[in-house]
């Protein structure tokens, strides 16, 4: 998950150098990245497919946490829930940025769900839009939040890890972590490197052979 987040932040920074958050030029700027920028197509597809891979890893992580009863560690679990919602918000705003038909109507439909909130719903939706419909103001603020949220997620992930080190994590073998210990290197170093290599291999296979699959 950490590696996926780093990949997303790095590729996102390169994409942000060429992207324009204007309703008239947003779609053209994405086309420009893919066609004219050196390896722009590769960076864009790594970013798009990396997001899907990030969520696959995230859901596996959440599923593992539920299966092993990690929700009993309230602080760690609650920060994990915050991370999940922040990641979902970031992904949604990123989906809007290319400003195609799916982006526009996706933003319209999802933001309109907030109008179901009693009394303040309509006002809240218009406040998020920055007007009376999804328009330039919406795209600009979505880009700003899409840019800043990953850094907040990275900071929250560090807090998540700090709480994890305080409480310890559940494991499938039921080992007592205070007494049953092995050195981090080479055992976990090799395990983590193998996991990262396989994840990167899967991402490259997706990007180079089926970039539009996910």
Q: How far apart are CA 16 and CA 150, in angstroms?
A: 13
CATH architecture group of domain 2-171+180-209: Up-down Bundle (1.20)
**Maximum CA extent, the chain:** 62
pLDDT of residue 177: 62
User: pLDDT tens across 9-39, in order?
Assistant: 999 999 999 999 999 999 999 999 999 999 9
Q: How far apart are CA 85 and CA 6, in angstroms?
A: 18
pLDDT of residue 173: 61
User: pLDDT tens across 91-119, in order?
Assistant: 999 999 999 999 999 999 999 999 999 99
User: pLDDT tens across 58-90, in order?
Assistant: 999 999 999 988 888 899 999 999 999 999 999
3 has a pLDDT exceeding 90: yes
DSSP state, residue 38: T
User: pLDDT tens across 138-180, in order?
Assistant: 999 999 999 999 999 999 999 999 999 887 776 666 666 666 6
- Exposure string for 193-203, b = 16+ CB within 10 A, e = fewer: eeeeeebeeeb
pLDDT of residue 70: 87
Q: Is the Cβ–Cβ distance between 33 and 40 less than 8 Å?
A: yes
DSSP state, residue 101: H
Distance of CA 211 to the CA centre of its chain: 18
Cβ atoms < 10 Å from Cβ of 168: 12
The single residue listed with the structure tokens 């893919």 is: 34
Please give the span between the terminal C-alpha atoms of the chain, in angstroms, as a whole number: 18
Q: How far apart are CA 195 and CA 199, in angstroms?
A: 6
Q: Is 158 exposed, middle or buried (0-12, 13-18, 19+ CB in 10 A)?
A: exposed
pLDDT of residue 27: 97
Residue ranges per structural domain of the chain: 2-171+180-209
pLDDT of residue 116: 96
Q: How far apart are CA 178 and CA 41, in angstroms?
A: 49
Q: How far apart are CA 20 and CA 27, in angstroms?
A: 9
pLDDT of residue 168: 72
* 181 or 140, greater pLDDT: 140
The CA–CA distances, whole Å, from 54 to 15, 24, 71, 113 equal 18, 30, 21, 25
């Amino acid at each position: 998950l950490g590696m996926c987040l780093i990949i997303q932040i790095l590729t996102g920074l390169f994409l942000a150098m060429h992207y324009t958050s204007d309703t008239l030029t947003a779609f053209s700027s994405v086309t420009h990245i893919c066609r004219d920028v050196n390896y722009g197509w590769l960076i864009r597809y790594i970013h798009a497919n990396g997001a899907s891979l990030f969520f696959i890893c995230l859901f596996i992580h959440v599923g593992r946490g539920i299966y092993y009863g990690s929700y009993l560690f309230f602080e760690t679990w609650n920060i994990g829930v915050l991370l999940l919602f922040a990641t979902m918000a970031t992904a949604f705003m990123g989906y809007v940025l290319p400003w195609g038909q799916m982006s526009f109507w996706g933003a319209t439909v999802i933001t309109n769900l907030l109008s179901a909130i009693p009394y303040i719903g309509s006002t809240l939706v218009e406040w998020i839009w920055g007007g009376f419909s999804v328009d330039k103001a919406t795209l600009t603020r979505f880009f700003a939040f899409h840019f800043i949220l990953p850094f907040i997620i990275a900071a929250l992930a560090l807090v998540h890890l700090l709480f994890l080190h305080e409480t310890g994590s559940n494991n499938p073998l039921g080992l007592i972590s205070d007494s049953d210990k092995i050195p981090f290197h080479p055992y976990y170093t090799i395990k983590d490197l193998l996991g990262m290599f396989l994840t990167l291999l899967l991402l490259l296979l997706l990007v180079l052979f089926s970039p539009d699959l996910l």
